[in-house]
Amino acid sequence: MNLKSIRPFIGAKDFEISRAFYRAMGFEEVLLPPKMALFHIGDFGFYLQDYYAKDWVDNTMLFLEVEDLEAHLAQLKALALPDRFPGVR
């Protein structure tokens, strides 16, 4: 098997706010009409859907591994995401 990619699909309670949140985190967005977007940084990415099923979305997790945790955490804190996107988790 010559695997090229594996990407999760995640749902969004509010698609527009979720799109803005991931763009603010530094992900590049490729809008895939009619109700989906690919977010990626380099070769790593995921699909965001304009679809909400509470049990599914509330139990979705993504694992993000970075080389320098302290530096990445400082970058995320500098973005003030909780202030810009209240209630987003």
Q: Is residue 60 included in any domain, yes or no?
A: yes
Instruction: Give the largest Cα separation in the chain, rounded.
Output: 45
Tell me if 2 is assigned to some domain. no
- Please check whether residue 57 lies inside any domain of the structure: yes
pTM (predicted TM-score): 0.89
* Residue-range definition of the domain harbouring residue 28: 9-84
Q: Is residue 80 in a domain? A: yes
Distance, in Å, from the CA atom of 81 to the CA atom of 76, rounded to the nearest integer, reads 8
89 domain-assigned: no
pLDDT digits (tens, 9 = 90+) for 62-84: 999 999 999 999 999 999 999 99
Host H or E run for residue 77: helix 69-78
Instruction: Tell whether 77 is covered by a domain.
Output: yes
CATH of the domain at 45: 3.10.180.10
- What's the pLDDT tens digit per position in 10-25? 999 999 999 999 999 9
